[in-house]
Amino acid sequence: MTDSAFLIETPRLGLRRLSESDAPLVASIFEDEAARRFYPEVHRLESAQRWVRRNVERYEIDGIGLWAVIDKDSGEFAGDCGLMYQPLEDTVEVEVGYHLRAACRGRGFAAEAAAACMAWGFGERRFPRIISLVHPDNAASHRVAARIHRHVRRAERLGISYFVYYTDRPTSP
């Protein structure tokens, strides 16, 4: 299945802009306890609607945001993934974020989508570095970030010592 609305495609996934009609699908990402631990409100429709609106605003203001991740074989909404500006310490970094519905986890979708977003960010936007800010207790995100990034360090944010996985834009020979 090919969809011309996809901004980014991988062999298995297509990423497109979120729309207001996606709010119930976004809420479904956070229905299970594992996801709600880090995002306790987004399973509620009103919170998911705000999540979608923030990303639609990011598209207009920043040209980036979280995008809907679609399994091209089934057409199923798998989650969201994308790039956003993230204040960190004394600077603002570009972060690749990823969130998948429970039924779509464990299939490599998060790493595949995140790696594609990073390639797009380095190629299309020429970002110098892309990070993933991972809570110390989020084991699943640690596994994904370790697969897609080259380096890791610690950083303090909101009183918590986070792991900052990062990759600098590859230089051309």
- CATH architecture of the domain with residue range 8-168: 3-Layer(aba) Sandwich (3.40)
Q: Mind spelling out the 3-state secondary structure of the chain?
A: CCCCCCCEECCCEEEEECCHHHHHHHHHHCCCHHHHCCCCCCCCHHHHHHHHHHHHHHHHHHCCCEEEEEECCCCCEEEEEEEEEEEECCEEEEEEEEEECHHHCCCCHHHHHHHHHHHHHHHCCCCCEEEEEECCCCHHHHHHHHHHCCEEEEEEECCEEEEEEEEECCCCC
Q: How is the chain split into domains, by residue range?
A: 8-168
Cβ proximity of 67 and 79 under 8 Å: no
pLDDT tens per residue across span 2-49: 445 899 999 999 999 999 999 999 999 999 888 888 887 889 999 999
Q: Is the pTM higher than 0.85?
A: yes
pLDDT tens-digit map of 92-116 = 999 999 999 999 999 999 999 999 9
Bridge pairing between strands 8-9 and 66-71 = unpaired
